């Protein structure tokens, strides 16, 4: 007999579970890249061991939440996700974010630390705010088109969007909203995280440098490491072999060997 097929499910408005594992020992909250949605983590969820249950964050104004209003500020987003996650801190949790999701995930983790500190934080392909020379992006139409081109070049599954103007317009609209949200970000004066913080960089990432990713060490009092993988900016959209490497990194952080 074949094992029963696991059906993805949502948890409230904010979370999508590609592989529900109600008896998992730890939850991994995952924050998508600009223009992305929780489904960006489908492959990662499949590759994680049974002890880890992935909870992808469903951003508003896209996918199944296309009609939901977008937060006005970065802080509004952090508070909204934090409030949604709070009832689910009945077991250890960790945070992973890709691109701008790395910053969102980091700030949500700091917000939730008032109740329970995360076991670990994984940041993929985004510079920590103390290294920014200027707020990323001016937000103009040319800037949005340039970012849309960049994101599409880095997502191997997004080719169909390029040839459909209506879909392209929708992507650009979401990117504009995401960029506007980043421009409202203000560094909080609260303490850094107190947990291992693991950075991941694509070797051919055009948007961030190894030095910038190493600087995430200043954002936590825990241990720090950097892995450079054979990938572009969107590491988790760079093929199954790379996603498997990220799954191994997550497993090593959250389920360390007793030996």
Q: What pLDDT digit, counting tens, does each position of 32-81 carry? A: 998 889 999 999 999 999 999 999 999 998 888 989 998 999 999 999 99
Alpha carbon distance 51, 26 (integer Å): 6
Q: What is the pLDDT of residues 150-190, one digit of tens each?
A: 666 665 555 555 556 666 677 777 777 887 888 899 876 66
pLDDT of residue 9: 96
Q: What is the pLDDT of residue 157?
A: 52
Q: With H, G, I as helix, E, B as strand and everything else as coil, classify residue 46.
A: helix
CA distance 207 to 228: 14
- pLDDT, residue 161, reads 54
* pLDDT attached to residue 196: 97
pLDDT at 250: 98
CA distances from 188 to 45, 78, 223 (A): 31, 12, 21
Cβ–Cβ < 8 Å for 54, 119: no
CB atoms within 10 A of CB 230: 13
In this predicted structure, what is the pLDDT of residue 248?
Answer: 97
Query: 248 vs 48, 52, 145, 227, CA distance in Å?
Result: 8, 12, 35, 11
pLDDT digits (tens, 9 = 90+) for 98-112: 999 999 999 999 999
In the structure, what pLDDT confidence band is assigned to residue 137 with cuts at 50, 70 and 90?
A: very low
pLDDT surpasses 50 at 253: yes
Using alpha carbons only, give the angle 186, 191, 197 rounded to the nearest 5 degrees: 95
Q: Return the pLDDT at 167.
A: 66
Pick the CATH number of 9-133+190-254 from 3.40.50.1820, 3.40.640.10, 2.40.430.10, 3.40.250.10: 3.40.50.1820
Q: In what order do the strands lie in the sheet with 121-124?
A: 9-11, 15-17, 52-57, 26-31, 93-98, 121-124, 197-202, 224-229
The pLDDT of residue 206: 87
Q: Given this model, what pLDDT does residue 166 score?
A: 67
Token output for 219: 């954002």
What token pair was written down for 26?
Answer: 């730890």
Angle between helices 100-112 and 74-85 (to 10 degrees): 60
Q: What is the pLDDT of residues 180-228, one digit of tens each?
A: 888 899 876 668 999 999 999 999 998 899 999 999 999 999 999 999 9
Structure tokens at 91: 């077991």
The residue among 189, 186, 153 whose CA lies nearest residue 171 is 153
pLDDT at residue 138 tops 50: no
Q: What is the mean pLDDT of residues 112-138?
A: 86
Output the average pLDDT for the chain: 87
Alpha-carbon distance values, 238 to 49, 55, 92, 234 (Å): 21, 20, 29, 7
User: Whole-prediction pTM value?
Assistant: 0.89
- DSSP structural state of residue 95: E
Confidence (pLDDT) at 33: 92
> What are the domain boundaries of the chain?
9-133+190-254
**Count of C-beta atoms within a 10 Å radius of residue 55:** 24
Reduced to 3 states, what is the DSSP secondary structure of residue 237?
helix
For the segment 81-90, what is each residue's pLDDT rounded down to a tens digit? Answer: 999 999 999 9
């Amino acid at each position: 007999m074949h094992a029963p097929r696991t059906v993805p499910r949502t948890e409230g408005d904010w979370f999508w579970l590609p592989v529900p594992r109600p008896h998992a020992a730890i939850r991994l909250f995952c924050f998508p890249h600009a223009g992305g949605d929780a489904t960006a983590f489908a492959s990662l969820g499949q590759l994680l061991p049974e002890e880890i249950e992935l909870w992808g964050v469903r951003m508003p104004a896209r996918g199944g939440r296309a009609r939901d209003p977008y937060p006005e500020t970065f802080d509004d987003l952090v508070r909204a996700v934090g409030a949604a996650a709070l009832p689910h801190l009945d077991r250890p949790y960790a945070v992973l974010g890709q691109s701008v999701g790395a910053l969102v995930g980091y700030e949500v983790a700091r917000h939730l630390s008032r109740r329970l500190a995360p076991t670990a934080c994984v940041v993929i392909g985004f510079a920590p705010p103390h290294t920014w020379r200027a707020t990323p992006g001016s937000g103009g139409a040319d800037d949005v088109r340039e970012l849309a081109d960049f994101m599409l070049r880095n997502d191997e599954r997004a080719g169909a969007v390029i040839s459909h103007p209506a879909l392209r317009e929708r992507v650009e609209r979401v990117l504009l909203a995401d960029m506007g949200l980043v421009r409202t970000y203000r560094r909080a004066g609260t303490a850094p995280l107190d947990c291992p913080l693991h950075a991941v960089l694509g070797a051919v990432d055009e948007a961030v440098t190894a030095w910038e990713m190493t600087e995430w060490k200043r954002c936590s009092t825990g241990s720090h490491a950097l892995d450079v993988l054979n990938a572009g900016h969107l590491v988790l959209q760079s093929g199954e072999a790379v996603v498997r490497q990220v799954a191994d990194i997550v497993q090593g952080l959250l389920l360390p060997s007793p030996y």
